[in-house]
Amino acid sequence: MKNLKMKAARAGLDLSQQELAEKVGVSRQTINAIEKGDYNPTIKLCRDICVVLGKTLDELFWEEQ
C-alpha cells in the first residue's frame, strides 16, 4: 500500500526523497520504495523517518483496517 502520508509530510517540509534519505541514512531508492509501498521498513527506520518529519508512528505508518 502506498504511503501517501509519508510523502505528504516530506513534501510539506519541502524535502526531496534524496534529502530525507540522507537524513535517515538510507538510499533515495529506499525512500521511493517505502512511498510506493514496495518496501516495508524496519521499526528503527520508521522511527528515524518520524523524527525527521516531526510525526508519530501512528501519523505516518498506521493503516486503518
- Cell numbers that stand for 22 in this block: 540522507
Instruction: Pick the closest to residue 8 from 63, 59, 44 (CA basis).
Output: 59
CATH number at residue 20: 1.10.260.40
pTM of the model: 0.93
Hunting for cell 528515524 — which residue is that?
48
Instruction: Pick the closest to residue 28 from 60, 53, 36, 65 (CA basis).
Output: 36
pLDDT digits (tens, 9 = 90+) for 2-54: 999 999 999 999 999 999 999 999 999 999 999 999 999 999 999 999 999 99
pLDDT grade for 63, boundaries at 50, 70 and 90: confident
Look at the chain and report how many structural domains it folds into.
1
What is the reported pLDDT for 59? 95
